[in-house]
Structure 1
Amino acid sequence: MRWNICIVGAGKIGQMIAQLLQQSVNYSVTVADQDLSALALIRAAGIATKQVDASDADALSTSLTGFDAVISAAPFFLTPSIAAAASKAGAHYFDLTEDVAATNAVREMAKDTKTAFMPQCGLAPGFVGIAGAALAEEFDTLECLHMRVGALPLFPTNALKYNLTWSTDGLINEYCNPCDAIASGELVKTAPLENYEILSHDGVDYECFNTSGGLGTLPETLLGQVRDVSYRTIRYPGHCEILKLLLHDLGLERRRDLLKEIFETALPRTNQDVVLVFCTAKGSKNGQLREKSYINKSFSREIGGEVWSAIQVTTAAGVLGVVDLMRQGKLPRAGFVRQEQVKLADFMGTEFGGLYAAGDVLAQYRAA
């Protein structure tokens, strides 16, 4: 069955999602945005567009009539408006938000919808929750599950050792908002930038620390089944110390507008990036204490004659993999749908999940 998809948001991620859908025989795609210059870039690629104000739920719902599904690739603060419009239009709803408050608003709306509402479908939250849940299922009893994810420049040149690869607003939220976790069997909120640790992969040292939103609903799902669940962001060593200076010592956690201006003025964007997913679970299996890791390392690549960053590819593949499973009837068609309801093997078997397969490090080792 061919699906008609509307993407709300013509930014970098919206463009990537649209390109992938355009190349599929299973979808037709339209991109909606208020920005005419952004829509012009989309039209130049031969993709249909609509000019619409996403903050006006009533007007947007009219524009969404007739679509099977809506994907929000807009800023997180527009999430409630877009979700409400999708519900009114009778379309399935997906988004990429890591914002907890926005996700809670979508969950509330999903109680009264006749279509599926599935937020947090990108990389983290999103794919990492699918991978983490798959690891957890391999144990008879689970002791701990730790998920680490980073989107990093391949060639860092500044003191932060970082380039902008994602939404600046979303990045600042991750650094400033409380973080969900399970500690000693209890749901807890932890402070961002804390629980510092070092990990190494392929001879490269990284640092990790708490950030907000990456776990999605996984702690709720695993509550009562595990002692500890955590999510931390991966960066190159030295990044966290500078962030604490900016946010705490200089007080920019209270001036997010100024912090955004500083980041967008001083930190260039790059397509030369790497996305590292590093999940580890420990528990009992067949009477033995066991540990298992899942590692996925993705790089920027050329698709359709254009170079796309690793964060664009993994984020777009994250949402489109679950959209494709919904189209195939392998996910619930109504109400709130969690990432951990997706089977990793099913996801990787979709035409879009295959983009993650190239970064499946352990599968490459097994094949070597």
Structure 2
Amino acid sequence: MDVWKIAIVGAGKIGQMIGTLLQGSPHYEVTVIDRDAAGLKKLADSGIKVAQADVGDDGVLADALKGHDAVISAAPFFLTPQIAAAAKTAGAHYFDLTEDVAATAAVQKLAEGAQTAFMPQCGLAPGFVGIAGADLAAQFDELDTLSLRVGALPLYPTNALKYNLTWSTDGLINEYCNPCTALVDGELRQLAPLEDLEELALDGTDYECFNTSGGLGTLAETLKGRARRVSYRTMRYPGHCAILRMLLHDLGLERRRDLLKDIFETALPRTDQDVVVVYCTATGTKDGILRERSFINKTVARQIDGRHWTAIQITTAAGILAVVDLMRTGKLPASGFVGQEQVKMTDFLATEFGGLYAPGRVTG
């Protein structure tokens, strides 16, 4: 049996779930690396191998990664280039969850001529949503539009924003403040965040959607020349976008991200009762007829092997581990840069980890 040694850098909530899922598989040996002793202790108490190391020190990190087949970064986005470089030095395949465009560009540069694979943006959005989008696009003879929308939301919203923190605050602010890549009239464009507001409904619940950064990954570049418009929007409950515009634009907090982060983390409670909605729609021609196809997936927090996991933990961890499994079994290129759109949806869902999405699949 082919057993891979995996190093996870980052012992936060997502890193904990990734480690737990890998620990339960016969195909992997896992070590979680972090500087935070408290986070590591929680994992060690559950029987997972841990190693305390300063992940900000290039030499220390490269030594810690030696002997591993693959490295998964579950660390903050600003450490991405450093961890990817250390993985390259260690001769390991590299995977991460970043939505940050600049960090991904650095990984792409490291992948040039590499003997191992570099696959960033492997979580939910970017990540699984790109796989779903590419699968929809492939169902048309001629693709016209592809709209990808994802929401990580509280099941029971109570405040004016109708939002609770469910994942990285830094990543959330990046999405709200950074430029958004899209295809517009067949050309790559940088759109403003919080624009192109639209409304939709699913299962009796109303949502609003608007531009945010990073969710498309490299899909827009891949579909250039094949589609007229490709876009990514974040889903929220109605009213969220108007308050964000007031905070970011009217009060100028887009220029004071540290203060915005402090406000979010002080005022918005975290919740483990959440829902993740993936809502993708494509239009184009098939057999000479204009058609529309949709993929909708709704995942809620639930118990897995007797432990409660949030929807964002489940969807993010499943997103990255399914592609790791496909790399291990030889179904993805083993060197250079690998994009999410190179993953076949059927292969993804057939892995032991991709199957975690199946209970939440509404239609396809």
TM-score (norm 2): 0.99
Question: Unmatched 5+ residue regions in structure 1?
Answer: 364-368
CA distance in 1, matches of 2:236, 2:70: 35
Q: What residue is the counterpart of 2:116 in the other structure?
A: 115
Q: What residue is the counterpart of 1:33 in the other structure?
A: 34
Matching residue's letter, 2:38: S
Tell me whether 1:333 sits opposite 2:334 in the alignment.
yes
Q: What residue is the counterpart of 1:234 in the other structure?
A: 235
- For residue 131 of structure 1, report the CA deviation from its aligned partner: 0.3
Tell me whether 1:20 sits opposite 2:21 in the alignment.
yes
Which aligned pairs between 1:274-353 and structure 2 lie closer than 5 A?
A: 274-353=275-354
Which aligned pairs between 1:135-214 and structure 2 lie closer than 5 A?
A: 135-214=136-215
Q: What residue is the counterpart of 1:88 in the other structure?
A: 89
CA distance in 2, matches of 1:302, 1:202: 23
Q: What residue is the counterpart of 2:274 in the other structure?
A: 273
CA distance in 2, matches of 1:53, 1:281: 45
Q: What residue is the counterpart of 1:255 in the other structure?
A: 256
CA distance in 1, matches of 2:175, 2:305: 32
SS in structure 2 of the partner of residue 340 of structure 1: helix
SS in structure 2 of the partner of residue 232 of structure 1: strand
- For residue 112 of structure 1, report the CA deviation from its aligned partner: 3.3
Residues 235-282 of structure 1, C-alpha deviations (whole Å, 9 max, x = no match): 000100000011000110010000000000111111100000000000
SS in structure 2 of the partner of residue 166 of structure 1: coil
CA distance in 2, matches of 1:103, 1:350: 25
- For residue 2 of structure 1, report the CA deviation from its aligned partner: 0.8
Residues 42-80 of structure 1, C-alpha deviations (whole Å, 9 max, x = no match): 101110001111111221111100000000000000001
SS in structure 1 of the partner of residue 363 of structure 2: helix
Count of aligned residue pairs for this structure pair: 363
- For residue 32 of structure 1, report the CA deviation from its aligned partner: 0.1
CA distance in 2, matches of 1:63, 1:185: 45
CA distance in 1, matches of 2:335, 2:153: 36
Tell me whether 1:105 sits opposite 2:106 in the alignment.
yes
Q: What residue is the counterpart of 2:78 in the other structure?
A: 77
CA distance in 2, matches of 1:17, 1:208: 29
CA distance in 2, matches of 1:290, 1:125: 26
Deviates further, 340-349 or 106-115: 106-115
Matching residue's letter, 1:95: D
CA distance in 2, matches of 1:229, 1:136: 10
CA distance in 2, matches of 1:68, 1:185: 39
Tell me whether 1:3 sits opposite 2:4 in the alignment.
yes
Deviates further, 83-92 or 296-305: 296-305
CA distance in 1, matches of 2:19, 2:136: 31
Residues 311-336 of structure 1, C-alpha deviations (whole Å, 9 max, x = no match): 00000000000000000000000000
After TM superposition, the runs of 4+ consecutive aligned structure 1 residues lying more than 2 A away are none
Tell me whether 1:56 sits opposite 2:57 in the alignment.
yes
Matching residue's letter, 1:48: K
CA distance in 2, matches of 1:272, 1:348: 24
Q: What residue is the counterpart of 2:127 in the other structure?
A: 126
Q: What residue is the counterpart of 1:219 in the other structure?
A: 220
- For residue 113 of structure 1, report the CA deviation from its aligned partner: 1.6
CA distance in 2, matches of 1:321, 1:52: 27
CA distance in 2, matches of 1:78, 1:262: 23
Q: What residue is the counterpart of 1:359 in the other structure?
A: 360
CA distance in 2, matches of 1:37, 1:275: 28
- For residue 304 of structure 1, report the CA deviation from its aligned partner: 2.6
CA distance in 1, matches of 2:307, 2:256: 37
Question: Unmatched 5+ residue regions in structure 2?
Answer: none
SS in structure 1 of the partner of residue 312 of structure 2: helix
CA distance in 2, matches of 1:12, 1:123: 15
CA distance in 2, matches of 1:48, 1:301: 25
